[in-house]
Chains A and B, each alone.
Chain A
Amino acid sequence: MNAKRSDHLATGLIYTFVAIVVLILFGLIGYILVSGVPHLSWHFLTTPSKAFAAGGGIRDQLFNSLYLLILTLIISFPIALGAGIYLAEYAPDNWVTSVMRTAIEVLSSLPSVVVGLFGYLLFVIQFQMGFSILAGAIALTFFNLPLLTRNIETSLSAVPNLQREAGIALGLSSWKTTTGIILPAAVPGILTGVILSAGRVFGEAAALIYTAGQSAPVLNYGNWNAFDPNSFLNPLRPAETLAVHIWKVNAEGIVPDIDAVSNGTAAVLIIVILIFNISARMLGNRLYNKLTSSK
């Protein structure tokens, strides 16, 4: 075979492979939407789920997912911010820093089921928290930290060094230079990263099955006392999320309308994640323009 022909053949092959990948993605999202959206209704979104009968909704799962996401971000963002600042601004070039970097790499490559089991062992069993939103949020924090830390580090490092020198030369401490000059300039990148990680957290299930649990007790949305067991704000109650709900409905197979429930839930999950993805992109661009141009 001559060079020209193999060139054509390889090019054709590459285009075919690319087309298949694109088709897979559109197929995936299309399938979920087509099979799930018809099951969506106001009723589906606002009724509690049912364990044995048909016609259950996902009201509590939807709320749990959002609540868990917010708690996770509240816990993980400050730690990731501190760690990101350490890596981008303070980290001396020595073995301690390289151990820290390795630790973060190890954490990011641990299977989420192992992270979840650690959370189960430590919080659910050892600290006797039981299956609870708090235990789930902590497990998700473990899983979210490496990603967020690295994102913050990259965003901070991308701010030109000249900005640091400008701050230092004005007699400001490195801390003030970092928080007052470098951090605001890095906000678009950090925000994009936070939203993308929120999408991941929102869809995670393996780390939650044995931490936040697989049950959704009936909640009282009028009860604002976070210490009351049936209050929707109580962080120590078990909380099944959308992703866990999909898994459980399929694994147990008790509910008669499995397809309706799991496809409908999947559609909600995908739509929320698509919104996260798109808003991350748009917000990042807009903030960037705003910061660098007028007012």
Chain B
Amino acid sequence: MNMIGYWGVTRAIVIREFLRFVHQRERFVAALVRPLVWLFIFAAGFRAALGLSIIPPYDTYITYETYIVPGLCAMVLLFNSMQSSLSLVYDREMGSMRLLLTSPYPRWWLLFCRLFGSTTISVLQVYAFLGIAALFGITMPPWGYVAVLLGLILGGLMLGALGLVLSSFISQLENFAGVMNFVIFPMFFLSSALYPLWKMAESSPLLRDICTFNPFTHVVELIRFLLYLQLNLHALAWVIVSTFVLSLIAVWGYDPARGLIKRKG
């Protein structure tokens, strides 16, 4: 079981994720349409209602469409991680998860590979979204598209780890819709994706405080700053620590001796 073997496992799992994604074209279209609807419809209507002041990383006034692009990038990551989590529950119900878990390689490595595979797919989707936004004139500094890769990978891993945790808790597919409502919507709306936190504080300081403790906020801010070639160290630390904690819970959840997966059948 050498390094080549470990790399082979990673490669195989990423290729499988990619092939599954390619075979599900409607999933790709849905993943693109969702943020585009927010960008071109929601943002257009909201632009007039929301005044934005100049806040870092911006050094000038920006349109609302420009403001929400990082949040929508993070939204793509969030939805994709939940989709991946859903497919893990499906895999377990359908049996293919058994095949993965009976590999002789360490379980934490198999889970990491799965996480890495779903993150790779997420990042490709985000770049497709950024490409379409650019075609419609919503552009970032050219090197920002390169720099943001770091934030997309870290954010994808963090949200993917959250998906793994959820999939280890959820025993049946039917339970998934409820969890989606309790996870996706609160995470997305209680963040800086759609409005800056100072704006949120004007309405409710409590909500603002909740937003600052939401790891998703920090994924959004990490992406936002990197798109403008700046590194938000506070957000970076939040994302790294959250990824670490969520990964530990996921490994525990999938541990055959102690985990949450221990159930009949």
Q: Do A and B bind each other?
A: no
- A residues bordering B, Cβ < 8 Å? none
- B residues bordering A, Cβ < 8 Å? none
